[in-house]
A and B are shown apart, each in its own frame.
Chain A
Amino acid sequence: MSPAGIGGLVILLLFGLFALGVEIGFAMALAGFVGFAAVVNTPAALNLLAKDIFSVFTSYGFTVIPLFVLMGQIGASGGIARSLYDCAYRFIGHVPGGLAIGTVAAATGFKAICGSSPATAATFATVAVPEMDRYGYDKRLSCGTVATVGTLGVLIPPSVTLIVYGILTETSIGRLFLAGIIPGLMIALSFVLTLLGWCRLNPGLGPAGERSGWGARLRSLPPIFWVLVVFLLVVGGLMKGLFTPTEAGSVGSFAVLLLTAAKREMTPRRFARSVLDALRIACMVITLIAGATIMGHFFVVTRIPSHVADWLGGLELPRLVVMLLIAAVYLIGGSFIEDLAFLILATPIFLPVVLNMGYDPVWFGVIVSVVTMIGIILPPVAINAFVVAGVTGTPVGTIYRGIYPHIAGMALCLLILLLFPGISLWLPGKLMP
């Protein structure tokens, strides 16, 4: 049988293992190992298995992942989200839907230090939903918004998704971070416009809260300043070449630790919990990468990525249509498998196609991230909806009904970003030419 034929069978085996409930990282490692043994030989495959796991685990490049996750976990357990929400609430809590809009604003600020999507959804489900309940907000609006805003961290730096994409594709993480800023803010604006429109159509969904005085508003501002300082330190240091990504993650984590300790929000117990939680998340991500590395080496010997590139090139479709097809594959794949896992699995296959069409890998990173954002809240595997359902005790169906209007806005943003790559590439072009 030809290597490509074996490749097809191994992909079937992979999806069989997924369907059986094998952990996705483990399934990729095992399927890659079996395929490599079939195409090359068993001793080489055994060697590959140990070497790939060892090299991924010991790689300096991957140490960036636990450190940026740690930064977010310290921020999440150190009360920063609550301070940001408090500030946003003081400024816009009094307009209809204002508490939900405040959640978007606070989450956008919080994403500047926390790259984990479910962690943000869980944090704001704890902080913002009880407040919205107090003012009689409809659960669709409150829980749907909280689940949706968690996705902003996929695009707004320091995003774990962009870091993983950068490592996989050997693209500059600094450029990717810069490229994510404008599209991230654009999508945050789409959430605000969706909420304003929705509350105007049905004012009962989000009644107005209390109006705060200017004194209270000004007193709530300092946390924003400190978050901005940490953000500028991390992204600025990366951009200026002062730090490697790992150093930026370390400095950012340490700065957030000092910030939360100074506010007396951080205790040794909370810090230990943040470290252990960060490790659990990082271990999951790096296991996925290790599995995908083994699978990737198998793909190389079968030449599947170049076959896919040749096939798509042979269709002679306009490149925008090809990009829409690729986005659809990510969306469908990410809806059934976990989105980051699918990104790790599919990117090495599709990247050559995208580069062949003359697109910038930084722009493709942004597109893939926006698709991942939609995938995170698209049923049936909508992890943020599950997290918010778990924290608030709201039925998942209710949360989905609150998510759909936001998905429409995100889809529109995706189309705009596909049509105008300059929106993503302008900032890295200006600051990191």
Chain B
Amino acid sequence: MKALPLVRPLARGLHWLGGAALTGMMLVTVADVVLRAFKRPIVGTYELVGFLGACAIGFSLPQTSLDKGQVLMDFLTNRLPAAAARACGALSRLIGVALFGLLAWNLFAMGGDLRRTGDVTPLLHLPHFALAWGIAAACLVECLVLLAAAAVGENGAEP
């Protein structure tokens, strides 16, 4: 699979970024809870945690598919002859490519609208458009992962 050497590090890099975001969520929230006891809460924790949560989950999409982490019903296709199972696997992954292609396109468009309207979070002024574009980019990497899997007709994504 020629696409994989490119796709794998991209997915892995995004996953580690997501991991950093999840660790950050935990630390910021704990710090806020502790400081709140001293009447010095961290302003904007709610916004920051929501923002980091979106990065954590959005950026983990490609690696989750690469590791076959999404749930699917394969006990029917597993009973098919090998060629038919591969065809079903390829078709399923291509359906996923269509979905994430549509999603990436619409999220990029939505991000453009959010940028034009200057939509930011109320306290920390975190720009929503950056988040929409970040998730859209992760959706594009997800498309590549699913395309690579479709090429070999795998159920799940690891070719």
| Chain A residues near B (Cβ < 8 Å) | 17-26, 29-30, 33, 46-47, 49-51, 53-54, 57-60, 62-63, 66-67, 70, 243, 246-247, 250-251, 253-254, 272, 275-276, 278-284, 286-288, 336-338, 340-341, 380-381
Q: Which residues of chain A are near B60, meaning CB under 8 Å?
A: 279-280, 282-283
Q: Which residues of chain A are near B98, meaning CB under 8 Å?
A: 30
Given contacts A21-B155, A57-B57, A284-B64, contact A247 B15 (CB under 8 A): no
Instruction: State how many residues of chain B have any CB contact under 8 Å with chain A.
Output: 57
Q: B26 touching A250 by the CB < 8 A rule?
A: yes
Check if B135 is an interface residue, CB within 8 A of chain A: yes
Q: Can you give 7 contacting A-B residue pairs, CB < 8 Å?
A: A21-B88, A21-B155, A22-B72, A47-B106, A276-B19, A276-B63, A338-B71
Q: A279 touching B33 by the CB < 8 A rule?
A: no
Complexed CA–CA distance, A340 and B29 (Å): 27
Q: Which residues of chain B are near A63, meaning CB under 8 Å?
A: 25, 49-50, 52-53
- Find B19's partner among A22, A62, A279 (CB 8 Å cutoff): A279
Q: A17 touching B95 by the CB < 8 A rule?
A: yes
- Find B22's partner among A26, A254, A275, A288 (CB 8 Å cutoff): A275
A-B contacts besides A25-B70, A279-B19, 20 pairs, CB < 8 Å = A17-B92, A19-B73, A20-B92, A22-B95, A23-B65, A23-B72, A26-B70, A46-B106, A54-B110, A57-B58, A58-B54, A59-B53, A60-B53, A63-B50, A254-B30, A276-B63, A279-B64, A280-B69, A282-B60, A286-B57
- Find B106's partner among A50, A60, A67, A280 (CB 8 Å cutoff): A50
Q: B46 touching A60 by the CB < 8 A rule?
A: yes
Complexed CA–CA distance, A22 and B100 (Å): 13
Nearest CB on B from A16, distance (A)? 11
**Mask of B124-159 contacts with A, CB within 8 angstroms, 1/0:** 000010011001000000000000000000010000
Q: Which residues of chain A are near B135, meaning CB under 8 Å?
A: 53-54, 57
Complexed CA–CA distance, A18 and B70 (Å): 13
Q: A381 touching B61 by the CB < 8 A rule?
A: no
Q: B102 touching A67 by the CB < 8 A rule?
A: no
Nearest CB on B from A233, distance (A)? 11
Nearest CB on A from B32, distance (A)? 8
Q: Which residues of chain A are near B75, meaning CB under 8 Å?
A: 380-381
Check if B103 is an interface residue, CB within 8 A of chain A: yes
Q: Which residues of chain B are near A340, meaning CB under 8 Å?
A: 71
Complexed CA–CA distance, A34 and B131 (Å): 26
Q: Which residues of chain A are near B22, meaning CB under 8 Å?
A: 66-67, 70, 275, 278-279
- Find B15's partner among A17, A60, A279 (CB 8 Å cutoff): A279
The 9 A-B residue pairs with the shortest CB-CB distance, nearest first, are A50-B106, A250-B29, A63-B53, A23-B70, A338-B71, A60-B50, A283-B60, A58-B54, A283-B64
